[in-house]
Amino acid sequence: MCCKSFWTRTVPFALAIVLSLFVNDIFHKFNYSNRSQSHFTVQTVGEIRPEMNNLIIFERPAANYTSAAREHSIVGTVTLKVTFLPNGKIGAIDVVKGLDYGLTEQAITAARNIKFQPATLGGTLIPATKIFEYSFMIY
Question: Which spans in 47-131 are helix H?
Answer: 67-71, 103-112
Residue 121 has a pLDDT of: 85
Share of the chain above pLDDT 90, in %: 50
Three-state DSSP at 59 gives strand
11-15, 37-41, 83-87, 120-124 — most confident range: 83-87
pLDDT higher than threshold 90 for residue 84: yes
Q: How far is CA 65 from the centre of its chain?
A: 9
Residue 46 has a pLDDT of: 56
